[in-house]
Structure 1
Amino acid sequence: MMMRSFPPFLLLLPVLPVPAAAQSLLPGNWDVTSKSVELVVPGAPGFLLRMMRGKSKTEHKCLPVAEARNGVATLLAPKPEAKCTIERSVIAGGHIDHVMACPQKKGPPLHVSSVGSYATTTFNVRTTMTGQTDKGPLRIVADPAAVRTDTRCRN
């Protein structure tokens, strides 16, 4: 794995996909914050990994009324270029259990597992991404969490 391909992995963490299901979230403004917990990225400088460990990134998202009925999936929808495939997804009764595979440019797909809980105004998951790079095994663990911050969307 080349150093320049390292940041996109972290950018995927807060936007991991969960397919649409019957659970509903309340519409309005949402903040989705992902905190890095563990970073094992072969070939990446150790000082960079130490600097990133424990850091958070927050995305501000609008959840329109028309999309709120789709539940957690609406806020966690991936960017299309990720091209991940869902292997298992159970989102029911306040619990999230989701596993997917995401292709790499080189090598076997990365496996992403998200387990957590949700309610109408929050969700919390532990996301673990594992895989093999040409320089060795990769493991990234993050804790994405979301909270509804306003009943209306900011423009």
Structure 2
Amino acid sequence: MFRQLAAALFLLPCATLAAAPALAPGSWAITSTTVAMSVPGLPRFMARMMEGKSKTHRKRLLAGHGMEALIAPDPKERCHIDVQRVADGKYNQTLTCPQKRGQPVQVVRSGTYDGTGFVGRATVTGTTAKGSMRIVLNQRATRVGD
């Protein structure tokens, strides 16, 4: 369960209703770095090993796409956008994402953006069979090519 949840968290870069400025088309790298992690049942040494670790995935933007396309959740994760605002160089987003077992997790994301990408933080909270969990990620997106 934890492995799938961790993979989902790193693949989250997520959508919006308010139109943001168009971003340059091409390949974008979205990097998520674990800042803090508290997951019941996960040995503390493993959580410490994951803190500071980064995972990067790529997303291809088409001409005319804006910030909403860059932060759109991966459809495979089946996350529901509860709240989203992208305006004036800032974004805020709340998602509910299912787990294979147990209650859905909530992801709250916020940060700043411009034509070169975004910088922000995602906090994931939920309940596992062993209790409440919390994972904090720093996220950054930059254009890396055509």
What does residue range 64-83 of structure 1 map to in structure 2 within 5 Å? 64-65=62-63, 69-83=64-78
Q: Pick from 73, 79, 87: which aligns with 2:82?
A: 87
The question of 1:12 aligning with 2:45 is answered no
Corresponding residue of 1:35: 33
Q: Give the drift of 1:18.
A: 2.2
Residues in 2 aligned to 1:108 and 1:100: alpha-carbon distance in whole angstroms: 13
Q: 2:5 is aligned with what amino acid? A: F
> Identity across aligned pairs (percent)?
41
1:1-155 superposed matches below 5 A:
5-16=1-12, 17-19=14-16, 21-23=18-20, 24-65=22-63, 69-150=64-145, 152=146
Q: TM-score, normalised by structure 1?
A: 0.83
What is the alpha-carbon distance in structure 1 between the residues aligned to residue 102 and residue 51 of structure 2? Answer: 25
Residue 21 (structure 1) shift: 4.1
Instruction: Name the CA distance, whole Å, in 1 between partners of 2:48 and 2:94.
Output: 27
| Aligned counterparts of 1:25 and 1:63: Cα–Cα separation in 2 | 8
What is the SS of the residue equivalent to 1:73?
A: helix
Structure 1 residue ranges (4+ consecutive) displaced by more than 4 angstroms after TM superposition = none
Per residue, is there more helix in 1 or in 2? 1
Secondary structure, aligned partner of 1:106:
coil
* Aligned mates of 2:28, 2:75 — CA distance in 1: 21
Structure 2, unpaired ranges of 5+: none
Long gaps (5+) in structure 1: none
CA contact (8 A) 2:19 2:68 kept: no
For the aligned residue pairs, the C-alpha RMSD in angstroms reads 1.7
Counterparts of 2:50 and 2:7, CA distance in 1: 12
